[in-house]
Amino acid sequence: MPPNSSTAPCAAHFTLQGKGGVGKSLVAAIIAQYFKSIGAAPTCIDTDPVNQTLVNYKALNASHLPLMAENSSRVDERKFDGLMEQLLSKDGVFVVDNGSASFIPLSNYLLENDALRVLRDAGCDVFIHVILNRRPSPSRNPGRVPCTGRRQPVPRTSSYGSMNTSAPSNSMARRSWR
């Protein structure tokens, strides 16, 4: 068995964030490069229907999963079935880069189809890498954000968002979804 992030035969790494330009593809590329450096051959999949960045890293040999419905500008959630088939039919490390345009459709798909449980039951460890970004400070963006002279609290949200309501409160950054 090739080096893996876990003892499971399959490990799926998703980069998720609803905002564009925060570094999802960069994080996915770093994760893939790490696995290549330890001798694993990660399968890299770019699901961004608008800006396919991961596929431009030629050394990663990433494939693009087309998600747009025919003759439409909408993402067809059923096209994620192809992604699930890959994850369920092969062993190894998968790195899935998700764009902001497909964040909500992928999140819906994972929730509505109980996909994380299906993957876990099939022996695949799932890692969700959420890129957190901070609201810009008024002093760093003069003229864009009104400055009241008082510090505004930055809303704190769980890195699990609404996808994992049963997760323990301790940090799961290096643990699998289980």
Condensed to tens digits (0 to 9), the pLDDT of residues 101-143 reads 889 999 999 999 999 999 999 999 999 999 888 766 555 555 5
The residue type of 115 is A
How much of the chain exceeds pLDDT 70, in percent?
A: 71
- In the chain, pLDDT over 90 holds for what percent of residues? 48
The rounded distance, in Å, linking the Cα atoms of 109 and 149 is 43
Q: What's the one-letter identity of residue 48?
A: D
Q: Identify which of 59, 57, 51, 48 has the alpha carbon closest to the alpha carbon of residue 83.
A: 48
Torsion of CA 65, 68, 74, 80, to 10 degrees: -40
In the chain the first and final C-alpha atoms are separated, in Å, by 21
> pLDDT averaged over the chain?
79
Among candidate residues 34, 126, 112, the one with its CA nearest the CA of residue 77: 112
For the question of whether the overall pTM of this predicted structure is more than 0.75, the answer is no
